[in-house]
Amino acid sequence: MKIGIVNDMQLAVEALRRALAIRPDLEILWVASDGRQAVDLCASQTPDVVLMDLVMPNMDGVAATRHIMAKSPCAILVVTVDIGANTWRVYEAMGAGALDAVDTPALAGADARRGAAALIAKIDQIGARLAPSMTMTATPKSQSRLLAIGASAGGPAALATLLGALPEDFSAATVIVQHVDRAFAEGMADWLSGQSALPVRIAREGDVPAPGVVLLAATNDHLHFTDATHLGYTAHPEALPYRPSVDVFFQSVVERWTGRAVGVLLTGMGRDGAIGLKAMRAKGYHTIAQDEATSAVYGMPKAAAALDAAVAILPLPRIAGALAQAFDKEKEARITTFPRTRL
């Protein structure tokens, strides 16, 4: 596997060289000292995986990731000092196309061994993704439909309103990530089921989303697609304050779901889901954010609006109708070209 390293710190580059030297099948193709150089090198010598730092002169890691994915796409792993302190930047990079993130390994000592092992494990995980993804590119896009919803503070009531307005014959599979402790998730699923014509239950490891069924994330780990059809839970990234994370789920939709999808971000505190919604829009999915007037807490949808992540910003009572329109097969070709509307 050919590796490109993007880092302006010589000690960090040396630590990465030593970590990769453990595995003879990992070849360093080139080293770039800033994002602009990395974009040029990727265009001339595209590696299998780029190890991308976040903070650099000339062009930072987020901008470099965005340019690489536009010009010469390849797998990008964010490798930076202290992921926990750079969570927002990490998710900006993932929204731009990076697949995962890991801390920069130390140069020597026990921390170096642990850091090298973590780095190589991430590279191996990305390598395992590459083979099936190349096969999938030759496969016609699935006609399966997915409604991906994220919510936090004020979310239960908003979800009850939205689900209650969906018809019994709603054709899309629905998956919800609501910030809720696992102790309350099952009770919340039962309560929502009573508010909706659609059955609502907690999402279990290995579940395949089905039309007309609503699945709710139900652990303190992150719900995500493990492949094109199956759901699973992961503890990573561990440093995220939001558990389960809407961003992690939306990002997995972008990376692995092969059918049509609509992303909806409802009321909530903070920024979780905004970058993931932006990534969904960038892929061509229709995206909706709840408006300020009907949000109990205008945090998450506000962050999405600031990123221009939402094709439409709508009051809660209008979202169900917009979903029916978005999933209308006759309008599929127009979904990605709607101008953003604010009603």
Q: Return the minimum-mean-pLDDT range out of 36-45, 84-93, 230-239, 251-260.
A: 84-93
pLDDT at 130: 64
- Rounded Cα distance, 320 and 172, in Å: 12
Q: Please report, rounded to a whole number, the percentage of residues in the chain having pLDDT higher than 90.
A: 64
pLDDT tens profile 227-262: 999 999 999 888 778 889 999 999 999 989 989 999
Q: Catalytic positions, please?
A: 152, 179, 272
Q: Please report, rounded to a whole number, the percentage of residues in the chain having pLDDT higher than 70.
A: 90
Residues 178 and 309 in one domain: yes
Mark which of 94, 117, 136 sits at the end of a domain. Answer: 136
Residues 169 and 210 in one domain: yes
Coil/strand/helix, residue 261: strand
Residues 196 and 48 in one domain: no
- Rounded Cα distance, 132 and 228, in Å: 10
Mean pLDDT of 66-83: 87
Among candidate residues 321, 307, 319, the one with its CA nearest the CA of residue 272: 307
Residues 314 and 219 in one domain: yes
Query: Side chain identity at 327, as an amino acid letter?
Result: F
Mean pLDDT of 149-162: 94
- Rounded Cα distance, 300 and 273, in Å: 7
Alpha helices in the chain (DSSP H): 10-20, 35-44, 61-71, 87-96, 110-136, 155-164, 182-195, 246-256, 274-283, 300-306, 316-326
Residues 238 and 322 in one domain: yes
Specify the pTM. 0.65
pLDDT tens profile 279-291: 999 888 999 999 9
- Rounded Cα distance, 243 and 208, in Å: 21
Mean pLDDT of 163-187: 91
**Which structural domain range is residue 116 located in?**
2-136
Mark which of 116, 136, 156 sits at the end of a domain. Answer: 136
Residues 43 and 149 in one domain: no
The CATH number that applies at residue 42 is 3.40.50.2300
Residues 153 and 98 in one domain: no
pLDDT at 318: 97
Residues 109 and 24 in one domain: yes
Number of DSSP helices (H) and strands (E) in the chain, helices first: 11, 15
pLDDT tens profile 48-62: 999 999 989 889 999
Q: Indicate if the pLDDT at residue 138 is higher than 70.
A: no
Greater confidence (150 vs 137) lies with: 150
pLDDT band for 143, please (50, 70, 90 cuts): low
Q: Indicate if the pLDDT at residue 338 is higher than 50.
A: no
Mark which of 117, 136, 155 sits at the end of a domain. Answer: 136
Domain count, the chain: 2
pLDDT band for 71, please (50, 70, 90 cuts): confident
DSSP letter for 288, please. E
Residues 110 and 163 in one domain: no
Residues 184 and 317 in one domain: yes
pLDDT at 211: 92
Residues 106 and 156 in one domain: no
The CATH number that applies at residue 167 is 3.40.50.180
Residues 162 and 309 in one domain: yes
